[in-house]
Amino acid sequence: MKRFLFTLFFLGCVIGVGAQTVSPETLAKRAKRKNLTVKEWNTQTDSKGNIKMRWLDRVTVYDSEGRKVEEIEYATYGQKWREVRKYDANGLLLEEVEYNDKNKPVMIRKFKFNEDGTKAIQYNYLPNGHLYSTKTFEYKFED
């Protein structure tokens, strides 16, 4: 029984270490986005094509490792929502915090990953720390 428990513990550690890797494809994408800020603009024109109004639609910020760390959605009146992301030392997403138009947190998402680096479970928490819901991810490859 002790041997079985030790084997089970060892496998859990190996799987946990394996889950902490990021694919080479992901690293290549991130290399192109290092320290990048993307601003998306909307414009409204008149019948002659002259710009009547222009407003910021979305801002996406990437860190020095090319990971998305902040995303802000705007409307003509200002910020609609904002999302801030935190990563672990191996580059996997740990947490997303969603803020409302008044910049107050409305949802906190935490993640667990499969050994191949894909998302396994998403835990959704309310700002007071109570678990609101979970989402599980299923991957099915067909020939």
What domains are there in the chain, each with its CATH number?
Answer: 23-136 (2.40.128)
Question: Between β-strands 51-62 and 131-136, what pairing exists: parallel, antiparallel or unpaired?
Answer: unpaired
Element (H, E) at 29: helix 24-32
Model pLDDT for residues 87-143, shown as the tens digit of each residue: 998 888 999 999 999 999 999 999 999 988 889 999 999 999 999 999 999 999 887
Model pLDDT for residues 4-42, shown as the tens digit of each residue: 444 444 445 444 444 457 788 888 888 888 999 999 999
Q: Which residues contact 59 (CB under 8 A, 6 or more apart)?
A: 37, 38, 39, 40, 70, 71, 72, 74
Does this model's pTM top 0.85? no
At 42 the pLDDT is 93
